[in-house]
Copies of this chain bind each other. A is one copy, B any other.
Amino acid sequence: MTDVVALGEPLVQLNAVTPGPLRYVVYFERHIAGSELNFCVAVALNGLSCSLIARVGDDEFGRAVIEYLRARGVDASHMVVDREAQTGIYFVQRHYPVPNRSVLVYYRRGSAGSRLSPSDLDEQLIKSARIVHSSGITLAISDSAREAVYRAFELARARTFDTNIRPKLWRSPDEAREAVLKALKAGVEVLVTDPDDTKILLGVSEPAEAYRRYKELGVNVLVYKEGARGAYVFWEGGSYFRPAFNVRVEDPTGAGDAMAGTFVALYLKGVDPRRALDAASAASALVVGVRGDNESIPTPEDAEEFLRSI
């Protein structure tokens, strides 16, 4: 039995070694990333088993993704190698035009990863998992990928979801809202989201109000990220706010995935939501201090050491 199964697109990340406009960047550093892949790395680091169901191309970058999953202890045996398409890539422009933020430039149209489809699902695996996870990105990358998520959620015993609405990947906010709400219908154990996405989905952004509404939609626990301010967790019986740690930013990309994966893993292990959010915030803080989305996600011991140091 696998604890967690995730569906999404793994990508090769080319991170600018020097900050500033991409135009003048001469050296790029290669990392392996992707929202659900980052999530899986966090889950595995916290001691749960995790499978990623995804497609990569039959190329060197696809092989790099599979080797990376195996290295990090994520089950890659359900990965599909697609001979018709290439592994997707993206570039990270750092600290321009806004300091401490990154701009992502994707080469993923028609990528192997975006060709994920319901036929890629191992139904037995999905049915047996404690949780099936995906995100708004996977809903956006193609019709077949979206159908794969819906189908997997149908089969799943329980679900977690990160709304992750990237406006560039959708024709309109309405399209995004419809797709995400449909995913939530099956009932979501833990929902990770933020005020911008919630505004699109529910038309509100006040945290407590958001939780009330999400709960009506079947959400059990809500992780509500307010970026550089911090994050809330709401659950049956309580809520908690964790102010963000004040850290130097190298590249914030992946911070949300680290938070989601760490929180969900600890939640599944029965950790108190407050302590889970603390550790998830530590993971998030460590990720923003480096290039690469998941290399600095801490083990539980390292997260504790971080928290003790504050």
Residues of A whose CB lies within 8 Å of any CB of B are: 14, 17-30, 59-61, 63-64, 67-68, 70-73, 86, 89, 93, 95-101, 105, 107, 109-110, 245, 247-250, 285-286, 289-292, 295-296, 298, 302-303, 305-306, 309
Contact = CB atoms under 8 A, between A and B. Distances in A.
Contacts of A17: 27
A231 B110 CA distance: 40
B248 A99 contact: yes
Main secondary structure on A side of the interface with B: loop
**Which one of A23, A28, A285, A306 has the highest number of Cβ atoms from chain B below 10 Å of its Cβ?**
A23
A100 B40 CA distance: 27
Given A22-B60, A86-B105, 17 more contacts: A14-B14, A17-B27, A18-B291, A23-B295, A24-B295, A26-B26, A28-B30, A59-B105, A67-B72, A67-B73, A70-B70, A86-B107, A89-B107, A95-B248, A96-B289, A96-B302, A98-B306
Contacts of A61: 22-23, 105
A309 B101 contact: yes
Contacts of A18: 290-291
B107 A110 contact: no
A21 B296 contact: yes
A27 B28 contact: yes
A99 B284 CA distance: 12
B298 A97 contact: yes
A182 B37 CA distance: 49
Nearest to A108: B107
B30 A29 contact: no
B71 A295 contact: no
A97 B307 CA distance: 10
Contacts of A60: 21-23, 93, 105
